[in-house]
Amino acid sequence: MKLRGQPAFNESGGARAAGDSEPGLMPERETSPGQSATAGEAADSALLFEGISKSFGGISVLSEVSLSVLPGEFVSIIGPSGCGKSTLLNLCSGLTTADVGTTHFQGSPVTRINTRVGYVPQDATLFPWLTVRENVGLSLAIKRVSKKEREKRVGTWISMVGLEGFENHYPRQLSGGMQKRCSIARTMIYEPDVVLLDEPFGPLDALTRLALQSELLNIWRQTGTTFVFVTHDLNEAISLSTKIVVMSRRPGRIRAVVPVELEEPRDIYQITESQEFARLHGELWEYVRAEL
């Protein structure tokens, strides 16, 4: 498991240099001042959205969005339905491209599928014919990681998400919360540099959501991975994030970027009782209410 402070490694085991080429990325272009980000600005960010505009079928979804996500941040994106939150995640992963502007990943423009990000969607999307152990370890099997190493890492992540004893169960035998735990472990096991989460806890009951928020926060603390999290839940955004991005109604623009500075370590189950939490909730609600 990659812990905070460790360098990223390539598949051969060597540390990746800043300029290493990766699938889905192109070398950083030289840019003119005032027109786009400098190479230094892009390289300092885990993700950089630069003047992004995007339309689908003649409908403008995003307009002139510029945003930097620093390495190790937990950034939540909130806003009305249809304002382009999920589209921003798709731009990071290379599933779509901007009509105007550039999405940078670790200093390089994203031009096709970006294999260095992990994606946790709303649905668990587990393979029904594979067990928990097999689902979690699938990406390692595809990369031909040795059986010994694969079993070690699978065991670690199954333990991390609290699925011990269910290794040989199939998805149909799991609750919704357990399926989501399996999905998170399957994403984290191959150590992506950035993890994109699109309302992953939306369909779950309130108690299960709290438990999974606590587990996700622990994973973020231990790994130092950059998380970009889409949610409609203000409490969830405040509880988890180091920074919250508020989007306007469609076409989505950035209404505000609000830093979250709560006492650490955070206790998901009691955090809502703090005065700072209440202050942040009030500030965010004023932004969101104006866009409804």
pLDDT 10s digits, 24-66: 554 333 333 334 555 666 778 999 999 999 999 999 999 999 9
* pLDDT for residue 42: 73
Residues 184, 202 within the same domain: no
Q: Final residue of a domain: which of 144, 174, 191?
A: 191
Residues 245, 273 within the same domain: yes
Q: Final residue of a domain: which of 137, 165, 191?
A: 191
pLDDT 10s digits, 231-290: 999 999 999 999 999 999 999 999 999 999 999 899 999 999 999 999 999 999 999 999
* Nearest of 194, 251, 204, 189 to residue 228 by alpha carbon: 194
Residues 258, 234 within the same domain: yes
Residue 93 in any domain: the answer is yes
Minimum mean pLDDT among 4-18, 35-49, 89-103, 232-246: which range? 4-18
Range of the domain at 183: 125-191
Residues 169, 61 within the same domain: no
Q: What domain count does the chain have?
A: 2
* pLDDT for residue 202: 86
Residues 235, 282 within the same domain: yes
pLDDT 10s digits, 121-135: 988 899 999 999 999
Assign 2 a pLDDT band (cuts: 50, 70, 90): low
Q: Final residue of a domain: which of 145, 170, 191?
A: 191
Residue 19 in any domain: the answer is no
Cβ atoms of residues 157 and 151 within 8 Å: no
* pLDDT for residue 195: 97
Cβ atoms of residues 223 and 1 within 8 Å: yes
Q: Which residue has the higher pLDDT, 89 or 17?
A: 89
Within 10 Å of residue 127's Cβ, how many Cβ atoms?
Answer: 12
pLDDT 10s digits, 159-197: 999 999 999 999 999 999 999 999 999 999 989 999 999
Residues 112, 198 within the same domain: yes
Residue 221 in any domain: the answer is yes
* pLDDT for residue 55: 97
CATH number of the domain bearing residue 95: 3.40.50.300
pTM for the model:
0.85
* pLDDT for residue 43: 74
Residues 226, 256 within the same domain: yes
Residue 96 in any domain: the answer is yes
Residues 204, 285 within the same domain: yes
Helix ranges, the chain (H): 39-44, 85-93, 132-136, 138-142, 147-160, 176-188, 206-223, 234-240, 275-289
